[in-house]
Structure 1
């Protein structure tokens, strides 16, 4: 091993920076009563059922004697008890008591608040890059990053994200110029300015607390709705987000009493067109035109709701 390898120095420098950033250098993690190791053990016990001491030591890479001393301390403090393993009476499983859950809860809250402060201090694209980099590191070192995502209504600030990410993504992936972002800004402003909550809606997809997708459904007339501004960030593709957003538009449209949904797209948007086709939309018109600095073919798709 070449200890003068600059990569080694870079890893060590990042470790020093990140441990200070995490607040793990003090006696208690984030000024709480538990050390980093104790907090991690409590986290596993709070979020998983059926753990044994041997299994916990193996998964966290802890010396069994060291772990045993920590667990005995938890038991003495009334935070932990042991019960019989229903699958093997020779083993006991660990579980937090009500007191243990109550005392761990502030640590969970402080950790979430810390992450929220970090992300709030970054612009949305930068925050996305940080989280994506964390995922790459975790995966490269043998971990399995969570891919859970949620869908919610738009909040103040989301429209700016929708506009900027449309402009950036379409420029990067298709070479479209700034006139497309201008069009998206006009569309988005019109939607939010005139939104009728009874017959129109929008949804934002979030992954790890960051926006990664969008879609809106707006009224055309009493019987027709239009699907607009469908977008999924590159790092969130493959999770079914686009299909789920399109599905939610259909559900809302049916509840609102529409008889059909229409949308405008382009032939180069292969992934989006595949989502529409799987959802039952039909291509009803196509027309070549020049816009956004490109030669394109615009398409109109429709879904009958009868």
Structure 2
């Protein structure tokens, strides 16, 4: 295990220690109740069944709990009058669990109390910090829960203050991680962004749940030619057709602005982007070998008439 991996592990462990204190997991009872976080989660899952019974085995698999541990929790709930346990009519080996009226009321109180605790936590934060907090939590979920479906729906809008910095940052960080391109590439993107003139050019930011996930810009090349620049879609947002939609916006703007032709510069390793360009009617015009941060690349120019 190298030092960078060890540092990353310690960062995650430190965050876990901090966040468990914030949500009160280390207290004997969650939200000033007699029930632990795990017990509250069991009540939550039973409540989601909306009055229907749930098999104990299904509950155990859903929460990934030890069978003996879950059995002790259910025994406590039964003694407290929160649930009813019965044998399945079709298979006596299976146990069916459902909330009683008292169990539903207990969950409702816990649910309301949790909402109040979170509201109190958010009260001391600015709207910007609330947005950062929500986006960061969404990022943690999207990175760790690889089975999760893409979030949505997406919105495509004009750039706002802060978006241009995001474009430079994401291009620099993403292409460094994925392809080994370094600071010179990020400086190249920063130069393109600095040349962006909203009075003449146009740009679009794609976002999901208020978080930027993609970009594209249509910029002036010469009197008859526009240039498509800085197309990017976050890996977490791919599969939604976002790249094609962003290119469509760029082509529409170029036509409406009176350009006769549009071109773009890319590299042959960006296979997904190339497929989008081909589907939009672009054709390869030229290519040449180059080097980016010690990495050999093939730079390409693609064009199409408007």
1:284-305: per-residue Cα shift (whole Å, max 9, x none)?
A: 1111123443222111111211
Map of 1:154 onto structure 2: 159
Give the structure-1-normalised TM-score: 0.60
Map of 2:290 onto structure 1: 289
For structure 1, the residue ranges without an aligned partner over 5 or more in a row are 1-9, 28-35, 41-52, 71-106
Shift of the 175–168 alpha-carbon distance from structure 1 to 2, 3 Å rule, reads same
Separation of aligned partners in 2, 1:244 and 1:59: 45
For structure 2, the residue ranges without an aligned partner over 5 or more in a row are 1-13, 34-39, 60-97, 107-114
Aligned length: 232
Contact 2:175/2:181 (8 A) holds in 1: yes
Map of 1:259 onto structure 2: 260
1:49-78: per-residue Cα shift (whole Å, max 9, x none)?
A: xxxx997445999836359879xxxxxxxx
Shift of the 18–243 alpha-carbon distance from structure 1 to 2, 3 Å rule, reads farther
Give the structure-2-normalised TM-score: 0.60
Separation of aligned partners in 2, 1:137 and 1:294: 30
Which aligned pairs between 1:67-216 and structure 2 lie closer than 5 A?
114=122, 120-121=128-129, 130-135=137-142, 146-191=151-196, 194-196=197-199, 199-216=200-217
Map of 1:75 onto structure 2: none
Shift of the 67–247 alpha-carbon distance from structure 1 to 2, 3 Å rule, reads farther
Q: What secondary structure is seen at the aligned counterpart in 2 of 1:146?
A: coil
Map of 2:277 onto structure 1: 276
Shift of the 152–59 alpha-carbon distance from structure 1 to 2, 3 Å rule, reads farther
Contact 1:267/1:296 (8 A) holds in 2: yes
Map of 1:236 onto structure 2: 237
Aligned CA RMSD, in angstroms, stands at 4.5
Displacement of 1:240 in angstroms is: 1.6
Displacement of 1:14 in angstroms is: 8.2
Q: Which protein shows a greater Rg?
A: 2
1:145-181: per-residue Cα shift (whole Å, max 9, x none)?
A: 6332211111111111111111111111111121001
